[in-house]
Chains A and B, each alone.
Chain A
């Protein structure tokens, strides 16, 4: 942005100056042949300087676009090359001694569980808060609330982790006991509950708090963009406010909601510090309230400092798997959005 404007300014100055000189004498002494000449040149010869500015700008944007691809490709290449030794290594060399895939799949499941918990909790709350801010709250309250929500996004993840382990885990463990006693017949709430509360459910709740501001701010912006025209159309048909939201705001915001949730999911999948602090990791277990499970990001962070040799390759391969999961999730989201393109309201 900065660069683009800097490049533009001198060119505009250069092209203005000769144009002013050329027109001044022409205006003072009007002579027919000269007039004709001016007309022909002005049509055939484009303003050289302005054209050059155009070229610089388009080259700059092209370079920026290519840079993204190069970086992405570079990261993918690094991951693949570094991960390859772990992928082809004999099974007994990998941690656990049963090969890479036996090592990685509990981590993948753990990552997905933590992220799904986070989204299941955060999405409805975020959409509710966003709707409250965009359509229900009085204007002053709305802007204040929006500001507070944005502040949540500015808190470092290590602080969330510290809060999760020092406060939330302790406070929430009695309710885990209750869940184990009363809902224990569900595999996900099977007892005995962890005494410390440092479980995957706690980690998921902390992640939910972390992704909440992302989903809220994005969906709020999208809800605010619903055309007034359509809202009024719904109201004029005799819709209540909630019906109006269901008829216009939510369908119009649908692609945006999906994108926002996917961004939140991206954050939840990759979140390292909070999970590493909160979760007391262990083997894969279906129960959300027992100690156990681990996520890919936390596994990498906790083991990388002391890793060497094939262990490093294994951890990088785990990173590659996380990268592929994120890519897959984003592609599915795009697929969902484009399937309803015709009805998106963008046409």
Chain B
């Protein structure tokens, strides 16, 4: 239930502006990969190209290949809707559907992919997904209440439950803890550690300690200046990136000398 991602010579454009240039990266299945780098270096943009969510932004397009276990996401005839049902995403700000109950939020994606699901199956799935997101004990008595009534950290875990309910191959997380307090952050980080037993996880974070804590591999992105494209500077095992990076820029960034 998890696949690897290989990216070959990927350029991302916003209309004519080259936002990210020449990314080559191999993301292993059942691992956590962190993207770090200063603001505006294109790591979130790049993350979105991994499930074609960048296409929501008018004018955004890519060149190059993203292979999910060898299948090109940008091949002819590939439907972005299918891509997104296999590669889930968790966003910076928790975004449970406010018009749905907690239970319906978890089932939202499932109901899209397979329209007929019995109540019994749905109950099992809701419990399993919420257990998987470490949220079950907190919400099991109020599944019919709106998801927007939960705390920020709970909402974010509800979003993770919603993402894993469709059993994706990969879960992308775009700064999932940046709007949360430290305790909620810890809960999410613990969860990421558990998720990698089953899923390939890619996380963008501004918090370098977080990258060091949760990830197996780390990719450092940087930008040469305003208006220049973002680039992948260095990619390697997390301990190596943080203690013994090859590139000077990486060392400066992880040691806090800039960015």
Contact = CB atoms under 8 A, between A and B. Distances in A.
Interface of A: 139, 227, 229-240, 243, 247-248, 251-252, 254, 342-347
Nearest to A227: B95
B124 interface: no
> How many interface residues does chain B have, given as a range?
20 to 34
Given A232-B53, A240-B81, A347 B149 contact: yes
Nearest to A246: B112
B82 A238 contact: yes
B51 interface: yes
A240 B84 CA distance: 10
Contacts of A234: 97, 108
Contact of A347 (B86, B95, B148, B166): B148
B188 to A, nearest CB: 17
A165 to B, nearest CB: 44
Given A233-B159, A234-B108, A347-B148, 4 more contacts: A232-B53, A232-B91, A233-B91, A347-B149
Interface string B69-102: 0000000000001101110110101011111110
Contacts of A346: 98
Contacts of B15: none
B236 interface: no
24 contacts: A227-B95, A229-B95, A233-B95, A233-B97, A235-B53, A236-B53, A237-B84, A237-B88, A238-B81, A238-B85, A238-B112, A240-B81, A248-B99, A251-B97, A251-B99, A251-B100, A252-B98, A252-B99, A342-B145, A343-B99, A343-B146, A344-B98, A345-B148, A347-B98
Contacts of B130: none
In order of increasing CB-CB distance, the 8 nearest A-B pairs are A238-B85, A251-B99, A237-B109, A345-B98, A236-B89, A229-B95, A233-B95, A238-B84
Contacts of B96: 233
B56 A229 contact: no
